[in-house]
Chain A
């Protein structure tokens, strides 16, 4: 078994990385490490969470907070510079950061040392309301600091024949939540319409709507039924706005050119993402066997590039699970090699107008890689720097997945300046 990375003696600590990379934001380095190592809370810190003000209940496709069998805890954190840290409580994390309440301030600490002030995410007003069908609105849309997330379909059919991506827990999570909390497979477009209508009444609260869910393979063409779910949902959302297009992002399967044209023409969607997950053909085959089997790495990539024709430059990107390329036993053995391969492929995508954004891989319960360990903090810093540098070099930007619109990509945090 691998030793947890933070216990490996050769790895540099947060402070050492900050000193070694003086041109990289220490806030972003901290966020990265907190996402990588996880976070937990002292009793005093939990007591500062006010259910009337803070978000303590959250339902997403990958995790749940504040439902049956999951305690109400702060959903996530904000740093002083507006950087979001998306991290749920990970009881099995080997060396988590600790949020504490010290001298009247909520602070992130590590081994007793105070590193930064933090704030809990605030609760928007809509979450305590119900739709006309009686559905609690917090179960329809989950808020981030400036974004409304909607998961119209919570199961991924790549799992049907064991083809789910190895770092992903979507379908095991869905099965558990269906049993524990009656989570529905699909959310009705009418409930979504009403929830969005309520949410956008709060001035200044939301700047974007993001849709994502599991892949649906059925239909006359691969992903046709998934496309239909999103078209119906986006049309329902669009009824709320005075403009044809509204600030929005869809993270979905790699649609064909015809499907993309329908998506663009029949809805008010502004930006499109389809995740390649790992930028290496052979590792894609191993880590994302469903995607590889149904479409393949090169076709997935081709479709992303095609999407730029439909949505325009700067409005198409792809997400990767940063660090999963080092998973054992088939991943890159050296971090240098992994970084080189990833950035070379990211450059090819950038040359075609597709930007790459990374999420920090946090091995999750319910995924095949649950017992693996992410690479070093230094790896993530270099990866973020590399992706940010590519965007600057190719005159692309990170606006569609920025620190504000999304908040889950350390590389796009760096693009703020």
Chain B
């Protein structure tokens, strides 16, 4: 079954002005965050990440994720209200072959000096709506609200009745 919000997430990923971040971890669990404007998706529903630097922190962490089953997180914000986080795992990387070459040609057609190291396919595990109000409502559901008392303190003494 497709993860909830998948269409919304992909629409947000498609937004021309979207902010797209990927968070990966290394073998010690240290996180690394990177903005990846080129993040997109393919016809099979995989998130596609074009890695331009062979030795980048993200590329190494993605290799580690594929080898050792570590998940990663992708955050997309499109406008003020469309914010999503996808938890994903690498499915496959193309460093050669027709898929790689197609992206290689496309990226160099756009930017003649561009390099391409790898085309990553990331499989979405689940997606959460990160819009603040939606997220807060979801996170607070069934919980005892945390309210600092100053927030509900009267600013003036009650008038004796």
Contacts and interface: CB of A to CB of B under 8 A. Distances in A.
Given A145-B95, A404-B95, A417-B60, A81 B101 contact: no
Interface residues of A, number: 23
A78 B105 contact: no
A80 B92 contact: yes
A417 B70 CA distance: 13
A81 to B, nearest CB: 5
A122 B116 CA distance: 18
Interface stretch (B1-9, B32-40, B61-69): B61-69
Nearest to B59: A416
Contact of A204 (B61, B93, B105): B105
B98 A81 contact: no
Interface string A88-130: 0000000000000000000000000000010100100000000
Contacts of A204: 96, 100-101, 104-105, 116
B17 interface: no
A309 interface: no
B140 interface: no
Contacts of B97: 78, 119, 122, 145
Contacts of B26: 417
A203 B93 contact: no
B91 interface: yes
Nearest to B121: A80
B108 A203 contact: yes
A202 B63 contact: no
* Most chain B Cβ neighbours within 10 Å, of A25, A117, A202, A204: A204
A145 B93 CA distance: 13
Nearest to A27: B67
A163 interface: no
Contact of A25 (B60, B67, B98): B67
A203 B68 CA distance: 32
Query: For the complex, would chain B's binding face be called helix, strand, loop or mixed by DSSP majority?
Result: helix
Query: For the complex, would chain A's binding face be called helix, strand, loop or mixed by DSSP majority?
Result: loop
Contact of A122 (B67, B92, B98, B118): B98
Given A25-B67, A416-B60, A82 B118 contact: yes
A23 interface: yes
A204 B100 CA distance: 8
A145 B96 contact: yes
Given A80-B91, A203-B108, A26 B67 contact: yes
Given A26-B67, A81-B67, A203-B108, A417 B27 contact: yes
Nearest to A402: B54
A82 B68 CA distance: 15
Nearest to A143: B96
B94 interface: yes
Interface in A43-84: 53, 78, 80-82
B61 to A, nearest CB: 8
Counting contact residues on chain B (CB < 8 A from A), the size range is: 20 to 34
Contact of B104 (A26, A81, A203, A417): A203
B30 to A, nearest CB: 13
A146 B104 CA distance: 13
A205 interface: yes
Contacts of A53: 98
Contacts of A28: 67
A80 B26 CA distance: 19
A58 to B, nearest CB: 16
A163 B25 CA distance: 51
A299 to B, nearest CB: 35
Contacts of B64: 417
Nearest to B100: A204
Nearest to A79: B92
A26 B116 CA distance: 26
Nearest to B60: A417
A350 B105 CA distance: 39
B101 A404 contact: no
Contacts of A25: 67-68
Of all A-B residue pairs in the complex, the 3 with the closest CB atoms, nearest first, are: A204-B104, A145-B96, A82-B95
Given A80-B92, A404-B54, 9 more contacts: A27-B67, A53-B98, A80-B93, A119-B97, A145-B97, A205-B96, A205-B101, A417-B61, A417-B63
19 contacts: A23-B27, A27-B67, A28-B67, A78-B96, A80-B91, A80-B93, A81-B92, A82-B94, A82-B95, A82-B118, A122-B98, A203-B101, A203-B104, A203-B108, A204-B100, A204-B104, A205-B96, A416-B60, A417-B67
